[in-house]
Each structure stands twice: as structure tokens, then as C-alpha cells.
Amino acid sequence: SQQGEEDPQALSIQEGENATMNCSYKTSINNLQWYRQNSGRGLVHLILIRSNEREKHSGRLRVTLDTSKKSSSLLITASRAADTASYFCATASSGNTPLVFGKGTRLSVIA
């Protein structure tokens, strides 16, 4: 069953601009994770934010979580051409249920 829904489906920006992607989910979560997938590669974990956290930073990445709205955003600042990839959010619920991935946002950063 699909939990996360990313928005927008595709985003195209100029190098140096900021990119913001959103994720909405439906049920209670333990944590929410963001992954990047370069073309032809596997997914790579970027950042994990727990349900009791509101904001987290990692380098040029900033993730926010609003559990009341069941939404999260991923901000990439000062984007680079190398940031071109698909970005997926994934939600972790309680128990042994596996992560549930959204459909992803395809980001293109134009040099």
C-alpha cells in the first residue's frame, strides 16, 4: 500500500537555485526518510527524521516534518547539476512493517 506522495512529480531548476520537494502521508509514523536515486542506480539514504523532530539538517539538505499535517519537505539549497536525480520519501510505521515509498520527485538541475 502506498503511503507517501511526493509533490511535484517533476521539478526543473537552474544551478544555484533552491529546490523544494514535498511529501504527504496518511497514517501515523515512527519516522520519515528521504532517499535519492540517480539514473540507473539504487536508492541512497539522505536523511531520517523522527516523528518527534520538526527539522533536521545535513549539509545543503534541510528536512521538515509536520505530523499534524502529515507532511514533510526536503529543501536542497544552492543546487548543483549533480543533484539531478529522483527523490523519494519513505515512511516507517510501528512494528515490523517495512518502509513505504512514494512515487518520487524527478529533479533536474540545469547548469
Partner 1 sequence: DTAVSQTPKYLVTQMGNDKSIKCEQNLGHDTMYWYKQDSKKFLKIMFSYNNKELIINETVPNRFSPKSPDKAHLNLHINSLELGDSAVYFCASTRTSRETQYFGPGTRLLVL
CA-to-CA dists, residue 75 to 24, 40, 83, 84, angstroms: 15, 23, 12, 14
Cα–Cα dist 69/11, whole Å: 23
In angstroms, give the least distance from the CB of 13 to partner 1. Answer: 19
Other beta carbons within 10 angstroms of residue 12's beta carbon come to: 12
Q: Specify the stretch interacting with partner 1 by CB under 8 A; choose among 12-20, 58-66, 71-79, 86-94.
A: 86-94
In angstroms, give the least distance from the CB of 63 to partner 1. Answer: 14
Q: Which residues bind partner 1 (CB under 8 A)?
A: 2, 30-31, 33, 35, 37, 40-45, 48, 86, 88, 90, 92-93, 95-101, 103-104, 106
